[in-house]
Amino acid sequence: MKLHASTAAVLRYGVAAGIILIMIGLALDAYGVSCALRLLSAGILVLILSPLFGIICAYICLMDEKDTKWVLVTTLLLMIIVSGVLLTYLG
């Protein structure tokens, strides 16, 4: 149960933080504050990275539970994500 609870918490807090940043950015943009775009970008980045942090959290919990089958699956998933990011930015 630790796996599900911690992964859900990471995802829940990540989404909440991203939405809060976006809401603050939108409110500041309505008043013409110059840092609003940075807050909006940060909020979107947090929303994009939340699933990755959820996978990392699941990986840590699975390592703790010594569940080798799912550790290998999670490792493969992380390797696919990292290779996709590297291929995107390195050409």
Residue-wise pLDDT tens digits, 16-65: 999 999 999 999 999 999 999 999 999 999 999 999 999 999 999 999 99
Where would I find the H helices in the chain? 2-30, 36-65, 68-90
Q: Of 16, 15, 10, which Cα lies nearest the Cα of 58? A: 10
pLDDT of residue 5: 93
pTM of the model: 0.84
Check pLDDT > 70 for residue 90: yes
- The number of domains in the chain is 1
pLDDT of residue 91: 73
pLDDT of residue 1: 62
What is the extent of the structural domain holding 69? 2-90
